[in-house]
Structure 1
Amino acid sequence: MAMWSTACRRVMRARPIPIALGCPPRPMELVTRLDGQKTASKSSLSASTGGSPHPPLPMREAERPERPERPERLFIQVDLELRAHQPAVLKSYAWFLEEVARILEVGVLVSEGEEEPHKVRKTLLKPVFAHSKHRVQYEMRTYYWVIQLSRLTQSTRDTYLEYVQRNLPEGVSMVVRNHEIRPLPQAILNDLRKRETPEASSSG
């Protein structure tokens, strides 16, 4: 009991160490090696290296090869088909898509949905087994909404889809259909030029 009281007195007499919240602890002034010798402090090391504890970097770094830039794809139209089981959630999310398109200055051609749902009915046995005459019918209702966006670049389309799909509510699915503008293949261009050449010669 006496030893315990003596230890408590030492702890109470010990001087508290102030700790600043949110600030890292100050570095040790001296670093002691295993053999007991004292080395220079970190402040002196930083002063000798110009204020930085790290060694200086080489003047010239290895040059990285430049990647060739790909031409940006163009989309004349992007169709978004939304499906949900609750019409209120579907209309709210469709309004959200229109607002995002307005902020990003994306043209909206069509934004409409059907009032009546698509119904699918299935008749199954009421119990797990036996009593085949006792059946029950289930009905699944799905509401649809279509939004058509016009004249998008690849970067704008990717930004728009990533933002709206991250905020996709539960129970709502999205189907994306892209209408991309592509140049004609070289074989078709050569065929068209061959057809235009005799017409020009006959007219001359």
Structure 2
Amino acid sequence: MLARTVVNQIFLLKTSQIPFSALSLTCRSITTAARLKKQLNVAATPRPHIERPSGSDELYKRLGVEVRGHDPAVLESYERFVRLVSTELAVQLVNVENPPFFTERWTLLRSKFAKKKYWREYEIRTYYKKFNFKHITGSTADTFLEYVQRNLPEGIMMIVERVRLESFRDNLVPPTSSFSSSSTTTTKTTSEKTSQEQDTS
């Protein structure tokens, strides 16, 4: 009760009645945040905008297609279809992975009003297949994915993962020639030292 009255009195005070110590604390926190932002130089280095030339196509390093279903025979048939499409469209299929299936099992009563000794076990198995493609352009990937997704069987789920290649930012520059020249001078000095040691011996 006493704490509530103290808090109410603080909020009812005007800014001129707030003690100087509380004001100094708030000002100190603001200045430290501004100082930290200045040290990190957040505002001075915005993220550069990379302009892509007109008419250029996106490049994908890797394209992963994962399908999930409850019938392994349907997935096998779909795998043959994807292999045929990849050969016709000249898409480089690296490999096809077959992860172990996932089993979800429930032990339930046979019916809602059955006795306690009548139990039944129900399970659902989810089978997986992962198709890995590499070195594919954006237009080819769009055409391939549209054709593959339109012929997806019922009850099959698909997850697509793309890894796109991007150009370096402007702030990422290669090392200058001064570094290479300094390394050559150090190698020269070390070779001269070894030759001088051999002469003295």
TM-score (norm 2): 0.58
Select 2:85's aligned residue among 100, 108, 112. Answer: 100
1:109 & 1:142 partners in 2: Cα distance? 24
* Structure with max Cα Rg: 1
1:198 & 1:124 partners in 2: Cα distance? 75
1:93 & 1:147 partners in 2: Cα distance? 11
State the 1:145 CA deviation: 1.0
1:124 & 1:184 partners in 2: Cα distance? 57
1:180 & 1:95 partners in 2: Cα distance? 27
1:69 & 1:132 partners in 2: Cα distance? 71
- List alignment gaps of at least 5 residues for structure 2: 1-52, 186-201
- List alignment gaps of at least 5 residues for structure 1: 1-67
**Equivalent residues, number:** 132
Partner of 1:173: 157
Greater RCO (CA < 8 Å, at least 6 residues apart): 2
Q: Secondary structure at the match of 2:123?
A: strand
Bigger helix fraction: 2
Aligned ranges 1:187-198 → 2 under 5 Å: 187=171, 189-190=172-173, 192-193=174-175, 196-198=176-178
State the 1:150 CA deviation: 1.5
Deviations 1:156-176 (A, max 9, x none): 000000011000001111111
State the 1:120 CA deviation: 1.3
Aligned ranges 1:51-90 → 2 under 5 Å: 69-90=54-75
Q: Secondary structure at the match of 2:83?
A: helix
State the 1:200 CA deviation: 2.0
Partner of 2:124: 140
2:180 & 2:59 partners in 1: Cα distance? 33
Partner of 2:103: 119
1:117 & 1:184 partners in 2: Cα distance? 40
TM-score (norm 1): 0.57
State the 1:185 CA deviation: 1.7
1:121 & 1:103 partners in 2: Cα distance? 41
